[in-house]
Chain A
């Protein structure tokens, strides 16, 4: 089931809709998420950092699919803004207002690594497709790429370990959103408050294209074919820029921008691309979520979230089993289906316990129902065994036994001879000599 999830920056619910029918599903209570703060962890549950924080600390809440109340709440040293999870939902990263990036292991909640990534607050985080590279955008306008493999490498020096792989520095103001293209060498598209979207090449580490928009862009989405870039502006328009073409004509909106559509009365705050079909989903400050047909730019559906602004939209493929626990085992597990909350203190890498990698996370509990019957095979085997008696191997065995027999006979002869000799000797001793203490008591 394809589900659209939306959250707001003011304290309200996380709303979910079935994408195909538009029917509203369970609402998850009390969440005020910052931009990019809502994340679905491996489609198993929802996590969101929180804007309302007690004193100076921040917090991250979890919601299980089946329960409207947040299940686990963790408090952190500083407010966490963006969150991201890798594809399988085994690691969660969060960006702090101080520019620190935190990396937690989901199954144990342990804070495995934290490092100073930026000079100012981290504004968005993305995992690469394969989960080994992390991209972070910051309010200082810089985008950095981190190789998580080296970050976990204990043998590297502190400096090398937390050194970034790449850095893109051409934005002059805060980075507001970032999307990654497809593949092992993705393009990185970033939006910034400096009214530009920039397209970067990962492998070359350079700027490929700069698109200047008439307004500040807060949200971007790319179509899966990477032809088009949709950029949601603060002026309430969604601009369509061409990625794939040559030098484009300057339309009335600007270079590379080929279209613009709008039905938002207020600023567009987030964009997402549907999983099935070509649908663009946009969230606005007016509290509405709109689903657009990306081909025709027509609104297909309007979903009302709340009065407050919508600032996060996720599109998730929800497993049916999440709502209907099917087996006894999973229902037992379901009660505490959420992993422990994210820890605040850095996990000291005492190797005694190690990282807590878990087997069976993906729930591959598909019982091998195709029973294998064996009697007939065993029977065939035994029949073959029966037939082989008297075959070549037996012949060889007979030959071997014959030889053995011969050898044994020779041995017997030898022993016999020795016995006779000994016997003779003893008899001679007894007859001839005195009563010598003959030691061979076994002679008759």
Chain B
């Protein structure tokens, strides 16, 4: 090796293809474990794989495939790499053999397609032997399962070898199932399940032949109660995707029916004495049609009567684990894709969820004698887990059936309202809030009207810790209505014990966990739920709760930002540092605040000024999510503050007539009231940019302002006013002079009236009958001057109201001014 000639044969750079075969050779030489030498450290192996992958040393792909000078050495290098791997695989030393298996798996992933297709069956045989021999160590079994998975994953990418792959997979399945039965190591099971899932998704036919035995193997594992919960989750996932191997409607339906039946039967054992007898029947009645035979029990093909009886007697704890795993299985079935449409048994699923959520660990009086305290203790201890997974199932139903949840919405709303009242544990509360959010967003107004009050009530309890401190008798709404200042003062010494209010419920007494942290998570969830509520239903029939919620939100947002903005510098040792939660709550509060601003439709949001200030402060925290969100919020609020009903056509390159119409239109919103417009530009954007004569004659200068707007199309801010050249727009100036002359005292009214002209299609008209333009304007101004209060009620625009209500130069009261709306109600009805 290492001929001297090549010692100075330098490559161009690290991207040179000729580097790769050489690198590979030297890796084989220096890093690969040798059959003779004692084995190196296993760390070396991981470094080796890293190099292989980063340089794609096995890919054999060169820019020019005809370049033999490059291809030939590379091919021979890969050949010798494979030879060495085979040598390792046949080694007696287990660690070397293990290394060979792992590297072969990596090779399956990394090598060129041609090479893979040419030699995969050889590799398959090589990997098969450690799986089939009973003496192999678990370590090797895991490795060969993983490598086998990669081999089949790669194989699945080539449609031409589908048949061959199916045959290979089919041969492997019995031995794989044997591993699942015999072995007692969860590490092996995990890899076996992964392999099975790959078969199901890439070679479904191979699995469908062994469908029943696979189902039995997995089901018996789930029901055996001998697995860790982590393992159970994986088993459940595998069971859920199993019907994909057949890919028809019946097998999916049968599977979910079996799973649901099994859940219900187990629950009968767990919940004995905790629920009405009718309920347990109901759960099963929904599943099995009276005229049909019930399907064989899950995994029932192998479990004999005795075995299942034995399972029945098992400890309750493992029963609950199995039930949870089966519920996860249902969720996965609902959310993962399936080749054909399948009917989801929404009714039975909901019945199951309701059944679980109804049980709160309380005993009915008649049953009290038959139940020991220990049994009750056990059920109470396991209930949170069951509740949590049933809530997950509910989420999965939303995801699965989407808009078809509509007929069940009322049912779910009732379920959630009741549960929101009862639920105490922070973890569950967070989940309920998140489900509420999903429900609100995915359905809409129809649901929101019925759920709104409940959400508002419980969120205000969660977000208003003071209430509990002062006295339990104080209604949440009273505390909400405190002014920001006073509530801030109180809040300082408030330990967030909002949840204690619910302690009357007997589900759970005394969560002694870190109280602050938990309730902060609950608060974040509550804020998110409020945000969703405001998004969906901030306007419709929301009068009853809007003002309270708005006040609550501005208080929380102000408060959360009070202690300084929490950076996102969570220490690496304590990833769940409270600062993290702090920034979460800030973000959630600001998001909800923005939603509350945006969903106000009748009057300008009361706390807009404070809110904008908060967003500005938040934006300064550069590099955080908070700053990103605040920037977004400011952008959105800009549209709220300067509503731009953008016209249909882009007038920038059309005639000046059109331009005038267009820009007057824009300008009107901007300076709906003179004084207002001025103060706006001075307050927010500073006075520097604005022409000094603005102050000399307000009326006149506001006209100038409007005309200057023309030069900066699409930009309403005063800043760009001076940039345009007036010469471009003679028509506009002419028009202004005209109007100023015509009705000097009423320009602002006139200007407002010009808005009419704005309607974009009008330019069409102007083009069609250009001679009418002038006449039209005369009409406008004429009408402006005769602007009498008895004008028909359908002249309904808010700007028009302003002109009437406040007159010229009057300052608009920012609290009562209605924001410019698309179409507003008539002047006589705005006094609501």
B776 and A249 contacting across the interface, CB-CB below 8 Å: yes
Kindly state whether residue A209 has any CB partner on chain B within 8 Å: yes
Kindly state whether residue B825 has any CB partner on chain A within 8 Å: yes
In the assembled complex, the CB of A111 is this many whole angstroms from the nearest CB of chain B, namely: 13
B189-208 interface code vs A (CB 8 A; 1 in, 0 out): 00100100000010000000
Which residue of chain A lies nearest to B536 when distances are taken between CB atoms in the complex?
Answer: A184
Kindly state whether residue B154 has any CB partner on chain A within 8 Å: yes
Kindly state whether residue B380 has any CB partner on chain A within 8 Å: no
Total A-B pairs, Cβ < 8 A: 319
Which residues of chain B have C-beta atoms less than 8 A from A153's C-beta?
Answer: 410-411
Kindly state whether residue A246 has any CB partner on chain B within 8 Å: yes
* Residue with the highest number of chain B CB atoms closer than 10 Å, among A150, A249, A366, A368: A249
State A87–B444 Cα separation when bound (angstroms): 13
Which residues of chain B have C-beta atoms less than 8 A from A352's C-beta?
Answer: 285-286, 289-290
A155 and B444 contacting across the interface, CB-CB below 8 Å: no
Kindly state whether residue B122 has any CB partner on chain A within 8 Å: no
Find residues 115-174 in chain B having any chain A CB closer than 8 Å to their own CB: 139, 142-143, 146-147, 149-150, 153-154, 156-157
User: A258-B761, A372-B153 known; A387 and B800 CB under 8 Å?
Assistant: no
State A106–B508 Cα separation when bound (angstroms): 44
Kindly state whether residue B344 has any CB partner on chain A within 8 Å: yes
Kindly state whether residue A225 has any CB partner on chain B within 8 Å: yes
Kindly state whether residue A203 has any CB partner on chain B within 8 Å: yes
A128 and B444 contacting across the interface, CB-CB below 8 Å: yes
A131 and B338 contacting across the interface, CB-CB below 8 Å: no
State A132–B735 Cα separation when bound (angstroms): 49
A242 and B194 contacting across the interface, CB-CB below 8 Å: no
B446 and A240 contacting across the interface, CB-CB below 8 Å: no
User: A261-B764, A364-B337 known; A376 and B106 CB under 8 Å?
Assistant: yes
Which residue of chain B lies nearest to A199 when distances are taken between CB atoms in the complex?
Answer: B823
Find residues 1-49 in chain B having any chain A CB closer than 8 Å to their own CB: 42-43, 45-46, 49
The prevalent SS among residues of A at the interface is loop
The prevalent SS among residues of B at the interface is helix
B648-668 interface code vs A (CB 8 A; 1 in, 0 out): 110000000000000001001
Which residues of chain A have C-beta atoms less than 8 A from B447's C-beta?
Answer: 132, 149
Number of contact residues on A: which range applies? 35 or more
State A375–B146 Cα separation when bound (angstroms): 5
Kindly state whether residue B799 has any CB partner on chain A within 8 Å: yes
State A247–B789 Cα separation when bound (angstroms): 13
Which residue of chain A lies nearest to B53 when distances are taken between CB atoms in the complex?
Answer: A376
Which residue of chain A lies nearest to B803 when distances are taken between CB atoms in the complex?
Answer: A246
State A133–B409 Cα separation when bound (angstroms): 13
B508-551 interface code vs A (CB 8 A; 1 in, 0 out): 00000000000000000000000000011111110000000000
State A411–B755 Cα separation when bound (angstroms): 100
B755 and A155 contacting across the interface, CB-CB below 8 Å: no
Kindly identify which residue among B53, B538, B759 contacts A242, using a CB–CB cutoff of 8 Å.
B759
Kindly state whether residue B449 has any CB partner on chain A within 8 Å: yes
B648 and A223 contacting across the interface, CB-CB below 8 Å: yes
In the assembled complex, the CB of A44 is this many whole angstroms from the nearest CB of chain B, namely: 11
Kindly state whether residue A319 has any CB partner on chain B within 8 Å: no
Find residues 317-359 in chain A having any chain B CB closer than 8 Å to their own CB: 329, 333, 351-359
| Residues of chain A having any CB pair with chain B under 8 Å | 86-88, 90-91, 105, 107, 112, 128-133, 147-150, 152-156, 181, 184-185, 187, 199, 201-204, 206, 208-211, 223, 225-228, 240, 242-251, 255-256, 258-259, 261, 278, 294-297, 329, 333, 351-362, 364-369, 371-376, 378-380, 382-383, 386-387
For the complex of A and B, the 9 pairs showing the least CB-CB separation, nearest first, are: A130-B444, A132-B446, A375-B105, A354-B347, A247-B795, A153-B410, A242-B759, A246-B797, A357-B404
List 26 A–B pairs whose Cβ atoms lie within 8 Å, in order of A's numbering: A130-B443, A132-B409, A152-B406, A152-B407, A184-B537, A187-B823, A203-B539, A204-B602, A209-B796, A225-B645, A227-B646, A240-B761, A242-B758, A243-B822, A249-B776, A250-B779, A333-B340, A352-B289, A353-B289, A355-B346, A365-B337, A371-B153, A375-B149, A376-B109, A379-B106, A382-B139
Task: Name 18 extra pairs, CB < 8 A, besides A90-B406, A249-B783, A378-B191.
Answer: A88-B402, A107-B343, A184-B444, A247-B795, A248-B759, A249-B780, A295-B764, A297-B761, A297-B768, A329-B339, A352-B285, A353-B347, A354-B348, A358-B341, A372-B153, A373-B154, A375-B106, A387-B42
